Amino acid sequence: MRQLARAAGGLCVWGLLTACNSDIPVPATAEIPSLGLLITVTRTATHPFLARYNLTLKVSAAGGCSASSELFPDTGGVSRRNLYAGARGLLYVVGQFDVRVFDPGLCMVSLREFRSLEERMKYLGTFDVGDDRRWRFFSADVRSEQPFEKP
């Protein structure tokens, strides 16, 4: 009977530990050869049990240019970020509540308003959680565009 109680207790502890969010940063990277860019969005849990994360964007371009920016935090299921290439050579990182734009000419990431989005952008893919609950990048040929609902 004692062995059964120990086994059940061990199973409960294991279940509790695997249910916790780790505060170890989890990077997801997209390489866009047509633009000469390497984009990484790193997600870091800020709460052990709730789906709350800080997100950091880093864009590296050919020639050594590199820029980064903190993204709007995920306070409950809004980590997904869609990537778009604009006609003017800009890279757009679009979330539910924010838009970041990387300008390779200035080597800078800036916060923009949604109304500043170009009309005909090319969808490149999305940073999101898969069915296995792992944070990663899905290219446009793997996952079709999922627009954001306006709050």
The alpha-helical segments, DSSP class H, found in 1-151 are 2-19
Show contacts of 134-140: CB within 8 Å, 24+ apart. 134/26, 135/26, 135/28, 135/43, 135/79, 136/28, 137/28, 137/29, 137/30, 137/39, 137/41, 139/30
If pLDDT is split at 50, 70 and 90, which confidence band does 26 have? Answer: very high
Nearest in space to 62 (alpha carbons), one of 104, 20, 114: 104
**CA–CA dist 4, 82 (Å, integer):** 49
What burial letters (b/e) apply to 16-40, b meaning 16+ CB within 10 Å? eeeeeeeeeeeebebebeebebbbb
Token reading at 19? 């249910």
CA angle 129, 44, 51 (to 5 degrees): 60
Reply yes or no on whether the pLDDT at 47 is more than 90.
no
Report the distance separating Cα 121 and Cα 3, nearest Å. 62
pLDDT tens, residue by residue, 90-132: 999 999 989 999 999 999 999 998 887 888 899 999 999 999 9
pLDDT tier for residue 53 given thresholds of 50, 70 and 90: very high
Provide the token pair at 90: 């800009």
DSSP helix/strand/coil, 19: helix
- pTM listed for this prediction: 0.83
Up-side HSE of residue 146: CA atoms within 13 Å toward CB? 12
